[in-house]
Structure 1
């Protein structure tokens, strides 16, 4: 049974989860330290911190995923209360390609996105598994951008 647990502080469980996702963090070219994760939990400049949400996702009692999103944020830092921006979605690399990620995103949309018309996100261009995943869920490319020094593909899906 999937359940979402709101993250209020970066704890050891969350740090350990991120540090196990070595495939993703090799693509992102960084090591997810506790300090990095704490800094990453802030809303973008000009956006309300209360609209920035991070959930741990559990399958029974096992932490299998995290999802970080910003309500009211649209590509190019535009305020849009009908849009939600997924800043990060990670499924435990040992649980990928099992259908779990699709179940989590579908549950996220059903439970957390009822007031939105649009979901947007950026996927690192070199993250081929991630791009294939988002395309399989009906997300379409709307642009290209940069995240730090990485090329990213901006994707969206109407709800």
Structure 2
């Protein structure tokens, strides 16, 4: 899948090990998320998540991406393509910089990403999110997931 197609408004690229500090900076500001989703983020947990794969999938099936506004990391998204079946994309994680929240930007990012996934031939998008987290539940419900 062409990662750049996931957003019309932000630069999209794969996040690498060298990006752990900017990912940590973004995630660690989201204290409400981690109030309901323990443990609190660490650099090690980011690297673990970046490398985690479900059974039967390879690193070629994973897109751990960042969406950037210039040099600013706006959002992190973890996608597993073709999981659990080939026509499905699994969104394991989505988090935005707190400075960009409550402006409709997250909704825009998700809508554009879903459109790109459908254009790439995927027929279903599933979430691996914690619905016990009121912040996550509100966001995903608002976006009709």
- Same fold per superposition (TM over 0.5): yes
In structure 2, how many angstroms separate the alpha carbons of the residues matched to 1:119 and 1:5? 20
The corresponding residue for 2:116 is 111
The corresponding residue for 1:39 is 48
Q: Which runs of 4+ in 1 moved over 3 A?
A: none
- Corresponding pairs, count: 134
Specify which of 102, 122, 127 is matched with residue 128 of structure 2.
122
Asked if 2 retains the 8 angstrom alpha-carbon contact of 1:23 and 1:93, the reply is: no
For structure 2, list consecutive stretches of 5 or more residues without a partner in the other structure: 1-8
For structure 1, list consecutive stretches of 5 or more residues without a partner in the other structure: 75-79, 140-159
Specify which of 61, 79, 96 is matched with residue 69 of structure 1.
79
The corresponding residue for 2:4 is none
Greater share of helix residues, 1 or 2? Answer: 2
TM-score (normalizing by structure 1): 0.75
Report the alpha carbon displacement of residue 93 of structure 1 after superposing the two structures with TM: 2.6
The corresponding residue for 1:17 is 26
Superposition RMSD in Å? 1.7
TM-score (normalizing by structure 2): 0.82
Q: Report 1 or 2 for greater relative contact order, CA contacts < 8 Å, sequence distance ≥ 6.
A: 2
Residue 8 (str. 1) matches residue 13 (str. 2):
no
